A and B are shown apart, each in its own frame.
Chain A
């Protein structure tokens, strides 16, 4: 397993380099101009100077190599510096976002907590409610519970989050005044009161995202359970005289969870990707909003860095999912 993991990690290096090149080329070819949002009153000479200040006067391959150096050399060094107080990195060599004129990674670190809190919690909540729903739906296939679950997950899956989000805002924020419609990212949880405030503002975005996640995962769970419930070993377990609880939870569930766990693991990188739309709707302003505003502003270094981090996480969690599969299923061996 270890050699397998190491081999996979080694294969990941050229893959990621290739991905970074593809991202760079796509961004390079995409239409748009980082100065497009500057008003028309800015004269062309000034524009040209601003362009040069961003490094845009360099040829594309120079900019790509520079980015590689910044991402794989300067940024890690900087991380070491900030952790151990050393001074290896050249402070002027970091990846600088065009719209903020500030190191892209600093902004990403700043955004990470709120995204992890809201989107990550929504994912956890989604999983926690999806698994039992999937189990019961499969165990009582075609019962009213299963039909209701199917209906709700169809709704959760097919109704876009910007719609559910706005509906929730109009009902619970505008009409009932239960929850705030705008997320306060400056709120610091220091006591019980601020915790309640934080909980209140997280309710709606978490609900919207959790519904979406849960409907997806509960479908997987249900399908996987149904698959296993029809297996002979389940009959064996019943014939052994195991209680239904043991049959369902120990035999069926454990086997059904194998594919579901990998699906859940593969979904984790999307947490870091943030929920672009939901973050916009509730003004959570996490990584998703950072990405979309960077795209709008043609902030290529930021877009490149963010997308590459997502790509790297996806590759990493693919590997984790594969390794998990091997750990959970004794039939799978990687050697």
Chain B
């Protein structure tokens, strides 16, 4: 208990909420909220990759953007390197931008079509550094080398590149200011499968070399399994389960995670033959009007009465493993204190 923490928490998210107002009528009166992110809490440790997975529309991209304050959170706290940024004014945020960066999903749309590669990569340097022109150019070339882009392309425009190359530009741009924390928002979703591996490998390599911390947002469970150290599963704006990668993939706890994983094809034909898919019925409820009780109760194969009444707490059910499910809150009640104590310890130690 008195041990010094082995790994530092770089990002701490607590009770994060992001609601988008719904307006209607002549006077655009607010009539409700889309609860894109609804009470989410987790930590990211320095140097690790946290995978954030979920179906499209579950709020994972919003979550990533709110953490970088590209959206203003509705409630909650975000601490990066111990500094609270949830309510920091934009001017303060700008100073923090160099430490936290983002790689976007669509490399085509996320690059300004009227700027050359050099201008795109170099622009943050103009804004945040006092480098001379030559130094800036050297830095641009260095970054292009690092992401495997030919230096001769520095004066070309984004539309002249292939999708994979554009994503490399996007990564180089994100790395320009030596960030510590990078949110990768579906960085490979728009790429060909053959290119996906290259980009993921590049990200891993850069992580090793530069000691980066990633929040890797993806709907591709296999890719997350490949890159992530820990994985958080989101459903309808909330985290259903958060666990170390191997634990999660071996023994998913939350029924939603189970269903999700059962859909992943197995490379081993024998295992694949025995794979039992859990087919979820019904549609994902609207985030504007989530169900009462547990978010997942409308589609859960193991639904209980309590699920429709009480919202399950997001809690540590095994050391290092968190889930929001009544299945575990009941059964683990007896193991209660010890398990909880263990859990707390493990969080502190950052398993």
- Using a CB–CB distance below 8 Å, which chain A residues touch chain B? 142, 231-233, 235-244, 246, 251, 254-255, 258, 328-331
Is there an interface contact between A239 and B97, defined as CB atoms closer than 8 Å?
yes
Q: Once the chains bind, are A235 and B70 in contact (CB under 8 Å)?
A: yes
B226 contacts A by Cβ under 8 Å = no
30 contacts between A and B (CB under 8 A): A232-B105, A232-B106, A233-B109, A233-B110, A233-B111, A233-B112, A235-B104, A236-B102, A236-B111, A239-B68, A239-B101, A239-B102, A239-B174, A240-B101, A241-B93, A241-B98, A241-B127, A241-B128, A242-B123, A243-B94, A246-B127, A251-B112, A254-B114, A255-B112, A329-B113, A330-B114, A330-B157, A331-B113, A331-B157, A331-B159
Interface of chain B residues 88 through 118 with chain A (CB within 8 A): 90, 93-94, 96-98, 101-102, 104-106, 109-114
Q: Is the CB of A243 within 8 A of B127?
A: yes
Instruction: Indicate with 1 or 0, residue by residue over B104-140, a CB within 8 angstroms of chain A CB atoms.
Output: 1110011111100000000110011000000000000
Q: Which residues of B contact A246 (CB under 8 A)?
A: 127
Q: Are A255 and B113 in contact (CB under 8 A)?
A: yes
B112 to chain A, nearest CB (A): 4
CB-based contact A240/B114 at 8 Å: no
Q: Contact residues of B with A, CB < 8 Å?
A: 28, 65, 68, 70, 90, 93-94, 96-98, 101-102, 104-106, 109-114, 123-124, 127-128, 157, 159, 170, 173-174, 176-177
Separation in Å of the B334 CB from the closest CB of chain A? 47
Pick from B93, B102, B113, B124: contact of A330, CB under 8 Å: B113
CA distance A126 to B128 in the complex (A): 37
Given the complex, which residues of B lie within 8 Å of A237, measured CB to CB? Answer: 112, 123
Q: Shortest CB–CB separation between residue B285 and chain A, in angstroms?
A: 27
Other-chain contact of B97, A241, A254, A329, A330 (Cβ < 8 Å): A241
Residues of B within 8 A of A231 (CB): 109
CB of B22, distance to nearest CB on chain A (Å): 14
- B-chain residues with CB within 8 Å of residue A236 when the two chains form the complex: 102, 104, 110-112, 170, 173
A-B contact count (CB 8 A): 73
Closest 3 A-B residue pairs measured CB to CB? A241-B97, A232-B109, A232-B110
* Known contacts A232-B104, A330-B159, A240 near B127 by CB under 8 Å: yes
CA distance A331 to B111 in the complex (A): 13
Asked if A328 contacts B127 (CB within 8 A), the reply is no
Q: Give 11 A-B pairs besides A232-B105, A235-B110, A241-B93 with Cβ atoms closer than 8 angstroms.
A: A232-B104, A233-B111, A239-B68, A239-B102, A241-B94, A241-B124, A243-B94, A255-B112, A258-B114, A329-B114, A330-B157
Cross-chain contact A328 with B114 (CB below 8 angstroms): yes
**Within the assembled complex, what's the spacing in Å between the Cα atoms of A330 and B112?**
11
Q: Which of B70, B98, B123, B159 has the most CB of A within 10 A?
A: B123
Give the complex CA separation of A232 and B65 in angstroms: 12
Residues of B within 8 A of A241 (CB): 93-94, 96-98, 124, 127-128, 177
CA–CA, A330 and B114, complex, Å? 6
* A251 partner residues in chain B, CB cutoff 8 A: 112
CA distance A235 to B183 in the complex (A): 13
A254 to B115, CA, bound (A): 10
**Smallest distance from the beta carbon of A205 to chain B beta carbons, Å?**
37
Interfacial chain A residues near B106, Cβ < 8 Å = 232
